[in-house]
C-alpha cells in the first residue's frame, strides 16, 4: 500500500473515532499533500501572468500571479505547464503551505526553483 493510501486510511480510521468533521478536513489536507509530493517547485518569472483553466490562450483566466510567486508544477503539455498550487509559506518554512490552484501557465513564464530544474519547463 502506498504512503498516501496509508495516510488516507489512517485518517478514515481516526475520523470514525472522532467524528466526520475531522475526516472532511483531513481528506482535503491529504489531497494537498499528495499533490505537493508529485510536483516540482517552480516560480513565476514575470508580473501579471495569467493562469488559465486549460492549456490554451483562449481558456478563461482563473488567477493572476506575479514575478517571484512560488508554485507547484505538475506536468507540461506542449508549451503549457499545469500547476496544482501556490506556495503561501515563506521560503524555507517546513512544512510548506500550499494553497490549491489548478491551472495552466505558458512555459515562458515559469522556471524551476533549483539550478538543476531551472530550464525544466522549456524543453
Task: Kindly report, residue by residue over 52-110, the tens digit of the pLDDT.
Answer: 999 999 999 999 999 999 999 999 999 999 999 999 988 888 888 999 999 999 999 99
pLDDT, greater one: 86 or 19: 86
Backbone angles phi, psi at 85, to 5 degrees: -175, 165
Cα 112 from Cα 91, distance rounded (Å): 14
**DSSP class of residue 44?**
E
Q: Are strands 40-44 and 61-65 parallel, antiparallel or unpaired?
A: unpaired
Supply 5's cell numbers. 493510501
Residue 1 has pLDDT above 70, yes or no: no
Cα 68 from Cα 16, distance rounded (Å): 42
Q: What is the predicted pLDDT for the residue at 77?
A: 95
Supply 118's cell numbers. 531551472
Other beta carbons within 10 angstroms of residue 85's beta carbon come to: 22
Residue 16 has pLDDT above 80, yes or no: no
Q: Which residues contact 44 (CB under 8 A, 6 or more apart)?
A: 65, 66, 67, 68, 69, 71, 105, 109, 110
Amino acid at each position: 500500500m502506498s504512503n498516501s493510501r496509508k495516510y488516507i486510511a489512517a485518517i478514515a480510521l481516526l475520523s470514525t473515532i472522532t467524528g466526520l468533521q475531522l475526516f472532511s478536513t483531513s481528506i482535503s489536507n491529504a489531497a494537498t499533500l499528495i499533490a505537493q509530493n508529485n510536483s516540482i517547485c517552480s516560480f513565476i518569472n514575470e508580473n501579471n501572468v495569467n493562469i488559465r483553466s486549460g492549456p490554451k490562450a483562449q481558456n478563461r483566466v482563473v488567477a493572476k500571479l506575479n514575478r517571484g510567486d512560488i508554485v507547484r508544477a505538475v506536468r507540461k503539455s506542449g508549451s503549457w505547464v499545469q500547476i496544482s498550487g501556490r506556495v503561501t509559506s515563506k521560503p524555507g518554512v517546513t512544512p510548506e503551505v500550499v494553497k490549491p490552484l489548478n491551472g495552466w501557465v505558458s512555459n515562458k513564464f515559469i522556471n524551476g526553483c533549483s539550478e538543476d530544474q531551472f530550464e525544466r519547463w522549456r524543453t
